[in-house]
Amino acid sequence: MTLVAFVDRHSEVASVRLTKARGSSPREAGTEMFVAPGETYGTIGGGQLEYMMIDEARMMLAKGIAHAVKDVPLGPEIGQCCGGRVEVEIALMSAADRQGALARAEAETRALPHVYVMGAGHVGRALAGLLAQMPVRTLLVDTRAEEMALCKAPVDKRHTALPEAEITSAPAGSAFVVLTHDHALDFLLTAAALARGDAAYVGMIGSATKRARFESWCRDHGGGQETDALTCPIGAGGSADKRPEIIAAFVAAEIMAALTQTRRNTAPEAAETLHTAR
């Protein structure tokens, strides 16, 4: 369910937003969830804090209380031992508030990092299915229509004879994982992703031997392309199990670690933008 569908379904909604987070807390300042009498959308981190704020928001909805600010220590007294302290703002949402929340949600969707899965084979399809559940925009790219048709995940599917063009036109900060049916195509696409110089993650399926061959190929045919930023083999740090779903799980973890590291590095700027927008 989307936020648009949620607010359309409920005539009365309260916003629950973490305005301050000191010490250890389940989510960062700026995190927001929405509460209706019988349903919620989003999360401020779960646990006892969230249960308490949902109850408070529903009490406010029932009594028509427009606004409240709660200062909550996350200690044994509420049964949540994070050790920090948060300030939570609860507000009944006007029509303008709803439109503002929808606009922010749309902006966040537009700002999602792009992940390009270059290859719709067994691992590519499994990876697309996992990434569909992540806060990213996933694009599955392949030259083979029959393989693409086997992917049922709700991701952006790009059937194209020129997959390298998708890499060239990708926004800065994108992640690229290359796992096609052809080693030569893998090399071409991986070199194109590395040549951008602005990717959050570049991975290529294979082995240490394949990486060595790629590095040799770069020296001989790739104009001396640097390969330090390349992850190859992909998903190799977690398990020796080679089933596609297992490989995909570890690759998804690598990609999300890289993307969230980038987000952490820009968090102060993002927090200031959020504060200014409200």
Q: What is the mean pLDDT of residues 19-39?
A: 94
DSSP state of 192: H
pLDDT value at residue 239 = 77
pLDDT value at residue 101 = 95
pLDDT tens-digit series, residues 68-126:
999 998 876 676 667 788 999 999 999 999 999 999 999 999 999 999 999 999 999 99
CB within 8 Å of 56: residues ≥ 6 apart: 68, 70, 90
Task: Give the whole-angstrom CA distance, residue 259 versus residue 136.
Answer: 9
Strand 156-159 versus strand 230-231 pairing type: unpaired
pLDDT value at residue 223 = 75
pTM for this entry: 0.84
Q: Which residue has the higher pLDDT, 46 or 37?
A: 37
H or E stretch covering 88: strand 85-92
Q: What's the whole-number average pLDDT of the chain? A: 91
Confirm if 110 and 83 have CB atoms less than 8 A apart.
Answer: no
pLDDT value at residue 110 = 93
Q: Which residue has the higher pLDDT, 226 or 177?
A: 177
pLDDT value at residue 247 = 94
In the chain, the N- to C-terminal Cα span, in Å, equals: 24
pLDDT value at residue 222 = 67
pLDDT value at residue 264 = 56
Task: Give the whole-angstrom CA distance, residue 2 versus residue 11.
Answer: 16
Considering just the CA atoms, what is the radius of gyration of the chain in Å? Answer: 22
Task: Give the whole-angstrom CA distance, residue 44 versus residue 30.
Answer: 9
Q: Phi/psi at 238 (nearest 5 deg)?
A: -105, -35
pLDDT value at residue 236 = 81
Task: Give the whole-angstrom CA distance, residue 278 versus residue 133.
Answer: 28
Give the sheet arrangement for strand 85-92, strand by strand.
39-41, 32-36, 14-22, 85-92, 67-73
Q: What angle do CA 163, 167, 168 make, to 5 degrees?
A: 110
Task: Give the whole-angstrom CA distance, residue 180 versus residue 135.
Answer: 24
Q: What is the mean pLDDT of residues 24-34?
A: 93
For the chain, percent of residues with pLDDT exceeding 90: 79
pLDDT tens-digit series, residues 182-237:
999 999 999 999 999 999 999 999 999 999 999 999 988 867 789 999 999 999 87
- Residue 262's pLDDT band, with cuts at 50, 70 and 90, is low
Question: Given a cut of 60, is residue 63 above it in pLDDT?
Answer: yes
Task: Give the whole-angstrom CA distance, residue 241 versus residue 57.
Answer: 47
pLDDT value at residue 263 = 59
Question: Given a cut of 70, is residue 277 above it in pLDDT?
Answer: no
- Residue 274's pLDDT band, with cuts at 50, 70 and 90, is very low
pLDDT tens-digit series, residues 137-150:
999 999 999 999 99
Question: Given a cut of 70, is residue 273 above it in pLDDT?
Answer: no
Domains of the chain: 3-110 (no CATH), 114-265 (3.40.50.720)
Q: Is the peptide bond before 233 cis (omega within 30 degrees of 0)?
A: yes
Confirm if 42 and 32 have CB atoms less than 8 A apart.
Answer: yes
CA torsion angle 221 223 228 233 (round to 10): -20
> Exposure of 236 by Cβ count < 10 A (0-12 exposed, 13-18 middle, 19+ buried)?
middle
